[in-house]
Amino acid sequence: MKDAYSRDVTYLRLSVTDLCDLRCRYCMPAGGVPKLPRGGVCSVEELVEITRQAVRLGVRKVRLTGGEPLVRRGIVEICRGVAALDGVEELCLTTNGTALSRFAGPLREAGVDRLNVSLDTLRPDRFAHMTRTGRLEDVLRGLEAARAAGFTGTKLNVVLMDGFNRDEIPDFVELARRSPLEVRFIELMPIGQGTRERFLPAAAVLDACPELEEAESSGVARRYRIPGGMGLVGLIEPMSRRFCRGCDRIRVTADGRLKPCLHSDREIPLRGLSGEALRRAIAGGIAAKPPHHSMAETGRSGASRNMNQIGG
């Protein structure tokens, strides 16, 4: 279905939980988030029904996210249910990777096509500091398990932060050179715990690695080849290059509220609806997509919930 600005909405980002085993400083408060009451998050059946109706409106690609999707009980069942729907052409999952060594095989068998793994540093001490609770070795083991389970086209999400990982840009590019990964540098957004102090424009990657050669862009990412390398480098620049004109997505939070835009507080409750009523509510959400966000002008996202609650 097209929105009011003729953008074809084909991509659903579905949050399956707002809980997480990590406490990344730019995403989660140190103490985590209060657990929603029992029944506060959508059931497996509700998630599948939301996807079924979204697909009838033209959604083709689904991404499961959170919070950390791998801490959600029933995640493999959710993947299986969504992957089995007619019309879902691509099922992806975004994870911090800490539990991937256990889940890679089951996710693959359940029908997940591709993974995005978030990893902001390759140094164990920095990883422990940034995530407050995590161990880098778990994520590295998870990446290896994903490869062994047959996942290809895995993307590594790296949020760029000045004074934290700027000096690691060449290390990440080197990783993409010697492995078939797409390393995606993402600009830090002033949403949730994210502040502007550490913001670093993604163009810093091109300054640090002038050898990168422009390649075909993909979705919201500008992409680059590394001479002689196996992988790719992508730049995602919500702050420096607003890509709203090509926005093709809607989001649904773990508590079942459709967000027409990540950076707006407008939310459309979907719980309790099914069939045609649900489809009409989703269509209303698509029609309500604003033309663009205004973070560059206002300095802050218009959304007041944290990324872990919205589904990044």
Q: Which residues sit at the interface with ligand SF4, rule CB under 6 A?
A: 20, 22-24, 27-28, 66-68, 96, 118, 307-308
Q: What share of the chain is helix, strand, coil (3-state, %, to 5)?
A: 30, 20, 50
**Main-chain phi, psi angles of 236, to 5 degrees:** -115, 115
Which residue, 94 or 253, is less far from ligand SAM as judged by CB?
A: 94
CB-nearer residue toward ligand SF4: 82 or 186: 186
Q: Which of ligand SAM, ligand SF4, none interacts with 28 (beta carbon under 5 to 8 A by kind)?
A: ligand SF4
From the list ligand SAM, ligand SF4, none, pick the one residue 192 interacts with, judged by a Cβ distance below 5 to 8 Å according to partner type: ligand SAM
Minimum distance, C-beta of residue 46 to ligand SAM, in the bound complex (Å): 20
CA separation for the pair 173, 165 (Å, rounded): 13
Pick 27 or 191: Cβ nearer ligand SF4: 27
> What does 65 bind: ligand SAM, ligand SF4, none (CB cut-off 5 to 8 Å by kind)?
ligand SAM
CB nearer ligand SAM, residue 264 or residue 274: 264
Closest CA to 196 of 301, 118, 284, 43: 301
Q: How far is the CB of 4 from ligand SF4 (least distance, A)?
A: 31
Distance, CA of 246 to CA of 172 (rounded, Å) = 27
- Phi first, then psi: what are they for 185, rounded to 5°? -85, 125
Positions that interact with ligand SAM (CB under 6 A): 20, 26-27, 65-66, 68, 94-96, 118, 157, 159, 186, 188-189, 191-192, 194, 307-308, 312
DSSP E strand boundaries for the chain: 11-15, 61-65, 90-95, 114-118, 155-160, 182-187, 213-214, 222-225, 232-236, 249-252, 257-259, 268-269
Nearer to ligand SAM by C-beta: 158 or 273?
Answer: 158
Shortest distance (Å) from residue 154 CB to ligand SF4:
16
Contacts of 153 by beta carbon, 8 Å cutoff, 6+ apart: 114, 182
Least distance in angstroms from the C-beta of 185 to ligand SAM: 11
Contact 104, 148 (CB under 8 A): yes
